[in-house]
């Protein structure tokens, strides 16, 4: 086993998959149990591996391969998943998560489709300079928008903030009411900047995808609105359905690009057709 790229029996050490065992299109929930919720909407599927926080399934939807891999909570484990899944052949990543809104008028159960993310986590700083943007791929964003429209789900489009800390880093009190100046100002500062929500993975997914020439997007169900002091576990199934529908759309668009010899998707390709 190479220390530089550890594998066990040909499998990547953490996600425990081999090249060829997963699809090029991969959904990335944080929660391992959400992988099962995703797979139930596929035409067929099987568990490839389950090691630590990384549960991997591969299946078929509309006759095309699709995979899902849980990342656990936060950027460090998510970066490991991206690194190893990319080595295994994945090219398009869509985060399927939950989030807390920080703007008024965003209801519980709504979806937030991220166009970019504020890099408040530390992992991306191990890869790029502080000014490097964490931007979603425009094709994935468009596909997620089209998917939400197709399914009739209410969604919001904008910038998210990704943190390493669920509590103090998102402006909540720590144990024994611990706080400090950064924590006391972060929520109101980001709200003033028109950031839509807090979550914990999108920025590292976007950053690594940009570095490696891959595609990435994110759709999250709103479980909380911090400004309106609301909380409820709703919208998870809508986020899942939207991500799967987006994969179907991306397959169609990618086929059109191949037929017409184009590197990038643009709307006129839909009029030209096959």
Residues of the chain with pLDDT under 50: none
**Chain segment 77-120, per-residue pLDDT in tens:** 999 999 999 999 999 999 999 999 999 999 999 999 999 999 99
Active site residue 14: yes
pLDDT of residue 9: 80
The per-residue pLDDT for 168 is: 97
pLDDT in tens, 191-208: 999 999 999 999 999 999
Residues 6 or more apart whose CB falls under 8 angstroms from that of 254 comprise 265
Length of the chain: 274
Tell me the angle at which helices 236-260 and 32-39 cross, rounded to the nearest 10 degrees.
60
Contact 210, 129 (CB under 8 A): no
**Active-site position among 55, 201, 226, 252:** 226
Q: Is 89 exposed, middle or buried (0-12, 13-18, 19+ CB in 10 A)?
A: middle
pLDDT of res. 1? 58
List 83, 172, 228, 237, catalytic entry: 172
pLDDT of residue 11: 82
51 is catalytic: no
The answer, as to whether pTM is greater than 0.85, is yes
Q: Which domains does the chain have, with CATH numbers?
A: 7-272 (3.40.50.1580)
Q: What is the pLDDT of residue 177?
A: 97
In the set 84, 236, 245, 252, the catalytic residue is 84
Q: Per DSSP, what are the bridge partners of residue 230?
A: 225
């Amino acid at each position: 086993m190479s220390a530089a790229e550890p594998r066990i029996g040909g499998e990547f050490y953490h996600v425990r998959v081999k090249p060829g065992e997963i699809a090029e299109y991969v959904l990335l929930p944080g929660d391992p149990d959400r992988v099962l919720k995703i797979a139930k909407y596929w035409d067929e599927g099987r568990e490839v591996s389950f090691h630590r926080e990384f549960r991997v399934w591969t299946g078929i939807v509309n006759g095309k391969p699709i995979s899902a891999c849980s990342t656990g909570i936060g950027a460090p484990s998510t970066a490991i998943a991206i690194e190893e899944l990319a080595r295994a052949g994945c090219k398009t990543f869509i985060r399927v998560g939950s989030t807390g809104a920080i703007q008024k008028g965003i209801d519980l159960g709504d979806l937030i489709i991220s166009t970019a993310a504020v890099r408040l986590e530390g992992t991306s700083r191990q890869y790029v300079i502080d000014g490097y943007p964490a931007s979603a791929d425009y094709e994935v964003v468009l596909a997620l928008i089209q998917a939400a429209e197709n399914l009739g789900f209410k969604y919001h489009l904008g910038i998210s903030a990704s943190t390493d800390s669920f509590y103090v880093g998102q402006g909540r009190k720590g144990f024994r009411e611990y706080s400090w100046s950064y924590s006391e100002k972060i929520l109101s500062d980001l709200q003033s900047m028109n950031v839509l929500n807090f979550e914990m993975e999108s920025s590292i997914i976007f950053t690594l995808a940009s570095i490696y020439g891959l595609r990435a997007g994110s759709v999250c169900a709103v479980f909380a609105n911090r400004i309106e002091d609301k909380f409820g576990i709703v919208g998870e199934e809508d986020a899942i359905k939207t991500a799967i529908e987006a994969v179907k759309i991306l397959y169609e668009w990618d086929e059109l690009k191949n037929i017409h010899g184009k590197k990038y998707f643009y709307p006129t390709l839909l009029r030209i057709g096959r």
